[in-house]
Structure 1
Amino acid sequence: MALAKKQAMGRGLSALLKDPENDIKSVTDKNADKVVGNIIELDIEAIEINPFQPRTNFNEESLQELATSIRELGVIQPITVRKMEFNKYQLISGERRLRASKIVGLKTVPAYIRLADDNESLTMALVENIQRHDLDPIEIALSYQRLMDEIQLTQEQVSDRVGKKRSTVANYMRLLKLDPIIQTGIRDGFISMGHGRAIINIDNHDDQADIYQKIVSQNLSVRETEALVKAYHEGTPEKAIPSSKNNDASFDVKSEDKKAFANYFGAKVDVKVAGNGKGKITIPFTSEEDFNRILKLINS
């Protein structure tokens, strides 16, 4: 009963927001107290994506799982938006929920409404997303960097905002000194943050890339990587690689196999294989319709 009453209130407040005579722009406006901080059913089409969103990778499998949950149970945790112009809102947090709601075909979504300037919006979006567990280390590092560059926070202030030790913040941000290829390797899961922290002790990007290739091709552990980096500084890197390591697990994907993937899915499929034989297949799509087309092919 309480949930139904709250949802009914959300729909009533939604109607209030669509009345031009009640265009709320600040906390001092009439009826602002009825809107700010309350859960309101907003039209999905009235919500634009936050340009400050730090997340750039969205796992499609987990997104589909969330969509299935929303289809069965609805959106349990409201998204957060800030009011822009009349009946227009900008997402602060909850892009996965918004994307999944669109996949399901929902017309409205429950939302908390905030009145915030760009800096507050960026801070809220970054801090909330940093707290999530599905951001990769590079995304977290970039979020810390943006808090420092765009909000003018010190590393100590960033530490306070996100509730992490200053040393933790510093360790993430040091990853941004890695060669871009290695950063991509961390994001794609070919190496861990621990590997990256070891490699960062090498200043030369070309040498970093050489070490990275050895880690991937020979499936080196973090400890073995640390030993390899130590040997690099001592001038004897080859001695640090255990002789038991080999490349037998790795294999090459034939060009005709790649073409077969591309022809089947009607898209340029990317296939990557690591030295341990593990890999990933990435299928790009250009729109929701294209995504649904590919999904039908997979399920057929």
Structure 2
Amino acid sequence: MRVEVVVRKGLGKNMDSVFSMKNVADVIDNPKVPEPKSSLPLSALKPGKFQPRNDVENSGLAELAQSIKQNGILNPIVVRKLSSDKYEILAGERRYQAAKIAGLKKVPVTILDVSDKQAMIVGLVENLQRKDLNALETAEGIQRLIEEFKYSHEGVAEAIGRSRPMISNLLRLLGLPEAVKTMLRAGEIEMGHARALLSLPEEQQVWLAQQIKEKGLSVRQTEEYVARYKERENTSENPHKTVQKSSEFTKFEDELSKILNTDVKLVSNSKGRGNLQISFKNEKEFAAILELLRSLNNK
């Protein structure tokens, strides 16, 4: 069985041609029982250079191998021809690995006649359909389509069946610190956590990701922490977010300044929340202010 690929023009602003996803989806989701000529020796197959996974996990391979021993491979491995006796795997790398464990000599295949660009999309589509990729692996695959094959964001979205905003959100994950990306790859934090972290400074991203991992914070709890952090930052550092002081606040400032013999500043937002800032020139002056505050507390 040989599947011819339909080429369609003009899917994206920067795309010269992209094959129809429907043909590939039909091959992946509705395989036919292969004829003898549609089987190939395992030795003729090699992993694909456009495989979107960073690694093929060992978890579950033993169970898949046992299933293959009992039922065979029901879903053919998708390949393309490299030479007279070598074929590159485009989709079905786990089935290939499990077939080796099961001791199979031959496996059913679907042969596609595709370019490098199309080969990469086949691998991405197959994995995305089966949710085999984590968010970072998906983002890295999308970035390759954009950088190596000059796809537009709209073109990628149409090719792999995702919305344009989802493509943008996935790509933003690539800007996370390496420590956070490691946790995301390992499943220690979720994509929802990672998206919330993006609006924080890098040091805070790493710290909060560690808290999520250690304390099991939910996405909602993470979002609430980020919102509180940003509110504190806006209150203390952004004068445009503050409101004009009332005469009562000004009076408090003056009174505290006289008591502590130093500059005192009250900063508040429109909700009445704020900070009290006490200035000091050196450690000795700070110690004197602290002693004065303690004496006032003891009265």
Q: Say whether the fold is shared (TM-score over 0.5).
A: yes
Q: Secondary structure at the match of 1:213?
A: helix
Give the alignment's Cα RMSD to 1 decimal.
1.9
Measured in 2, the distance between the counterparts of 1:141 and 1:219 equals 24
Quote the residue 2:209 is aligned against: 212
Q: TM-score normalised to the size of structure 1?
A: 0.64
Measured in 1, the distance between the counterparts of 2:209 and 2:47 equals 35
Q: Secondary structure at the match of 2:226?
A: helix
Quote the residue 2:178 is aligned against: 180
* Contact in 2 for aligned 1:126/1:147 (Cα 8 Å): no
Cα shift at 1:130: 2.2
Quote the residue 2:62 is aligned against: 64
Quote the residue 2:103 is aligned against: 105
Cα shift at 1:81: 0.7
Measured in 2, the distance between the counterparts of 1:196 and 1:89 equals 38
Counterpart of 2:90, as a letter, is: I
Aligned length: 203
Quote the residue 1:140 is aligned against: 138
Measured in 2, the distance between the counterparts of 1:218 and 1:75 equals 42
Deviations along 1:2-29, one digit per CA (max 9) or x if unpaired, are xxx965x42xx3xxxxxxxxxxxxxxxx
Select 1:48's aligned residue among 46, 57, 68: 46
Quote the residue 2:166 is aligned against: 168
Measured in 1, the distance between the counterparts of 2:76 and 2:33 equals 12
Task: Say if 2:131 is the partner of 1:123.
Answer: no
Look at both structures and tell me which one has the larger radius of gyration over its CA atoms. 2
Q: TM-score normalised to the size of structure 2?
A: 0.64
Quote the residue 1:276 is aligned against: none
Deviations along 1:55-87, one digit per CA (max 9) or x if unpaired, are 124332321111111010000000011111111
Measured in 2, the distance between the counterparts of 1:117 and 1:189 equals 33
**Please, which runs of 5 or more residues in structure 2 have no aligned partner?**
1-31, 234-299
- Bigger RCO of structures 1 and 2 (CA < 8 A, at least 6 apart): 2
Measured in 1, the distance between the counterparts of 2:214 and 2:41 equals 49
* Contact in 1 for aligned 2:196/2:223 (Cα 8 Å): yes
Q: Secondary structure at the match of 1:164?
A: coil
Quote the residue 1:224 is aligned against: 221
* Contact in 1 for aligned 2:196/2:226 (Cα 8 Å): yes
